[in-house]
Structure 1
Amino acid sequence: MGLIKLTIKGISYSQTQSGAYALVLSEMDGARTLPIIIGAFEAQSIAIALEKEIKPPRPLTHDLFKTFSDRFEINISQVIIHKLVDGVFFSSLICEKDGVEEIIDTRTSDAIAIAVRFEAPIYTYENILDKAGVYLKNEDEFGLNQDQDEDDFEEEDAYEIDNVNLKKESPFSENSLKELHSQLEKAVESENYELAAKIRDEISKRV
């Protein structure tokens, strides 16, 4: 069975379910999207890896994994979302060292956070997209169901995070750019990355 390459389309969160986020993957050569529920930490970790302007003062867990792998010359060549059981996605890291390939089982949220740091491609199988893939009527709308568990998804009202930033209607509209840059620096120093992402998005809208 052939593999289908995916790309990260965005992350969204629900107003009604605290701490629940949807990572939305999209097939490279098609219109289907694959929404996967992930935790807040994993959502922030993925967003930070994609957002070049925010640099954590200390390495996150997935950054540590990347540093460890680099030090011992282990490469992550690809991530495969290979199984879907009762709404839960199962994934594998394909690792290489000295020409030897190893397959490591992992949570899908961790696999994606690691793949972004290694710039490794993400794949799944046709049968998984057939089961869980959705065609969005509006590409800017995807969301979470209030009663979902992790790695399960159903469309509902939610806010998209543009360019994978965790944001909603900005509370910073009254702040100057100078104030925003100062607040951004303080948020990163205090490791409040969700707030930092919101501030960065407000800055981006003004420049």
Structure 2
Amino acid sequence: MARWEPNAQERLLHAAVDLFVEQGYDATTVNEIADRAGLTKTTFFRHFRDKREVLFAGQDLHTGLLNDAVAAVPASATPLEAVGAALDALTAFWADDRREFSAKLRPVIAGHTELQERAALKRAKLTDALTGALHQRGVPEPTAGLAAELGIRAFYQAFDQWVAPANGQSLTALTRDTFSTLRAALTTLT
């Protein structure tokens, strides 16, 4: 096994997802993931705490993208404009070449309660990060929380559409459309 080959984390991620799809999440071991990636178990644990965390790699990167994008919008931007900019930054991470891989993740997560709980925690952390970024801009509650919830809801709804095999739109375009639809729905609530 090559000890210092590049892209170890990405290789582990792809190996894990392939094995989860082929033989099931519960039946897959860390040793099998490392072997499939051509790496050692020790290398696996340098990148991930456990096999569950493989599926949620990048969470810190995603929260950073949200924070940086909100901080970069002009001071004159409304909270929803800031959220829109954050969503553009977040969705740019998922280029179309990641669609097939992302689609494989959905049934693996849907099939396990512990993974569903971890996915819900990730969603909550993204919402909290976006809310916090809006607070840093001086947006008070409940405005900051509502704007963040709306944005993250739009992202997840769009993501579900994006991974569908028949879909040809980019995640950014789908998220913008969904966010726009949700914003329009808000106006009907009064």
TM-score per shorter chain, which class?
A: under 0.3
Higher relative contact order (CA 8 A, sep 6+): 1
Q: TM-score, normalised by structure 2?
A: 0.26
Q: TM-score, normalised by structure 1?
A: 0.24
Higher helix share: 2
